[in-house]
């Protein structure tokens, strides 16, 4: 059985597995897309409780320790950029 490719530093310490990084990226990208979709829906229908729930869930994820484990991005900055993009502020 072939082992997965890994990247190591000069001391042989594991930096990360590229496949894991791509899966982390996919998780974050899916949450960002859901957040954008919810903002578009809320812009058109501000009373939409489902869209508001999705928006809150995504923002909770962006502020979570799990998000910080997956990436070095600042969740608050990402939320702000998504809001600017969605609301044109």
Task: Say whether pLDDT at 44 is over 80.
Answer: yes
End-to-end CA distance of the chain: 53
Q: Pairing relation of β-strands 14-16 and 7-8? A: antiparallel
Output 46 or 2, whichever has higher pLDDT: 46
d(CA 54, CA 23): 21
Task: Say whether pLDDT at 42 is over 90.
Answer: yes
| pLDDT, average across residues 52-70 | 95
Task: Say whether pLDDT at 24 is over 90.
Answer: no
Helix (H) or strand (E) holding 8: strand 7-8
Asked whether the beta carbons of 37 and 54 are under 8 A apart, the reply is yes
Reported pTM: 0.76
């Amino acid at each position: 059985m072939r082992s997965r490719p890994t990247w190591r530093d000069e001391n042989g310490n594991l930096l990360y597995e590229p496949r894991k990084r791509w899966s982390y990226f996919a998780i974050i990208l899916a949450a960002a897309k859901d957040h954008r979709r919810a903002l578009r829906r809320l812009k058109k229908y501000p009373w939409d409780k489902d869209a508001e729930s999705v928006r809150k869930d995504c923002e909770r994820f962006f502020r979570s320790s799990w998000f910080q484990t997956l990436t070095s991005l600042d969740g608050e900055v990402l939320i702000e950029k998504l809001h600017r993009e969605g609301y044109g502020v």
